[in-house]
Structure 1
Amino acid sequence: MKLIDESLVSSIIMDYGEQVKVNDKETEAIITNPLISEQEERYIHTVQNVPRGSVVDYKTFKYLTITESSSMRTAKYKALMRQCNHVIEFPGEITNGKFLGYDDLGRAVFEEIVGEPTYVHAIVDNKSFSVNSTDAIRVPVNEIILVLQDNKVNKEKIKINFKFPSMDKKWTVQNIDLTQSGLMICNCKTV
């Protein structure tokens, strides 16, 4: 015997939920607050699975789902999402434009055309990445943890020794942890 009717839960989400974007796709969701923590976190309740690492657009903010929701809970999916507090800018691709002539060594010189930059939303923290704040361990003073969506673009751009600016410092990626499906967890150190 089912205690909760799935169609009832689905209609509640459709009637009382809000429009959000999950990985750039519109969906209805109910957003609730967990216990107060150091980070801005919310629960997202949907009738579709929201895998860990999904980027959620909610009320002008970007969130990253940090828990797996592979099975339904009471006829709906539920995941914890944390607000992205950082944007990484990947410079645009440089391509050759029109031929300008030759340099002093006889090499062809072309106009450089810089493409549009790519922006990636991420979570930056100075503690080891943990859903349960009691498990978090502080990282050394000149180190941070960078958490972002594990996708093709990020895997192509972010490698060991990748450098990026943040908080008036330049950081370099020391290690990339892919053990949590959907997330890239990077240990970074100041340059």
Structure 2
Amino acid sequence: MPTIDIWNDKNDDISYIVSELGDTVKVDGNEQQILINHKSVGDVEEKKIRSLERIKRGSLVEIEDFQYLQIADVNLRNGMLYEGIVRRCNAKLPTTVCENVIIGYDPMWGDPVYESTCRTEYNIPSIVDGKVFTATQNQAINLVQNEISVTIQENDMNKENYGLNKQMIILDRNYKVIAVDNTKSGLLILNCKSA
């Protein structure tokens, strides 16, 4: 068994610790070893994570078959490990999936004739919350009744599908997006009101 010099900050020692004690997770679909503090932070299921590679805010992290969003800025701790906070996703947002199916061929030209079929799938991991944190204080305040905050990964598809005035069903209720906050890179925060 190799010895570890705990008094000397060496990247090889840290790499060894992460590889031996770390958990294998998926970060945006790619396997990675990270150290996880499994104790939840506060009244929501948040975990502190540390890794050798940077995990950007907004990354989707799969831990033990549960999906989490990296919600905090990632800081380099002691020049060796990246540290962040992930929060468990508690809902999935709907998306419309359409596909063209050949239903026959044009008798005159022989070209295929398509029919478009669309269906709704709930597949966008999200964090739905009835509270928000103020910018000046790190304290939660309750939103107005019938309003929720929905946090999702910021990407082109989500920006297009979940914009202002978009209506969707979240947790069995119909909501309308009344404001979009994209001030935190990597995250898209939707303020929604019950429609």
Scaled to the shorter chain, the TM-score interval is 0.7 to 0.9
Q: Does 1:174 align with 2:178?
A: yes
Q: After the TM superposition, which parts of structure 1 deviate over 2 Å for at least 4 consecutive aligned residues? A: 33-36, 70-74, 93-101, 109-118, 129-134
Q: Does 1:42 align with 2:53?
A: no
List gaps (5 residues or longer) in structure 1.
102-108
Amino acid at match of 2:96: P
Report how far residue 168 of structure 1 moved: 2.4
Structure 2 partner of 1:106: none
Amino acid at match of 2:13: L
Amino acid at match of 1:149: Q
Deviations 1:19-67 (A, max 9, x none): 1001111000111035641110111111000111110000110000111
Structure 2 partner of 1:65: 70
Q: Aligned pair in 2 of structure 1 residues 90, 116: CA closer, same or farther (>3 Å)?
A: closer
After TM superposition, list the pairs within 5 Å mapping 1:104-115 onto structure 2: 111-114=115-118
Identical aligned residues as a percent: 28
Paired with 2:168 and 2:105, the residues of 1 have a C-alpha distance of: 32
After TM superposition, list the pairs within 5 Å mapping 1:97-108 onto structure 2: 97-98=102-103
Q: Does 1:54 align with 2:59?
A: yes
Structure 1 partner of 2:139: 135
Paired with 2:13 and 2:71, the residues of 1 have a C-alpha distance of: 27
Deviations 1:68-102 (A, max 9, x none): 1153445101100000000012011254754799x
Structure 2 partner of 1:152: 156
Paired with 2:148 and 2:122, the residues of 1 have a C-alpha distance of: 22
List gaps (5 residues or longer) in structure 2.
1-6, 107-112
Selected match of 1:14 from 13, 19, 24: 19
Amino acid at match of 1:142: N
Could you say what secondary structure the match of 2:12 adopts?
A: helix
The TM-score with structure 2 as length reference comes to 0.83
Paired with 1:160 and 1:176, the residues of 2 have a C-alpha distance of: 7
Deviations 1:100-141 (A, max 9, x none): 99xxxxxxx963323684611000000014699952111011
Deviating more after overlay: 4-13 vs 55-64: 4-13
Selected match of 1:86 from 82, 86, 91: 91
Greater strand share, structure number: 2
Could you say what secondary structure the match of 1:7 adopts?
A: helix
How many pairs does the alignment contain?
Answer: 183
Q: Aligned pair in 2 of structure 1 residues 180, 73: CA closer, same or farther (>3 Å)?
A: farther
Paired with 1:14 and 1:28, the residues of 2 have a C-alpha distance of: 6
Cα RMSD, aligned residues only = 2.8
Paired with 2:39 and 2:78, the residues of 1 have a C-alpha distance of: 16
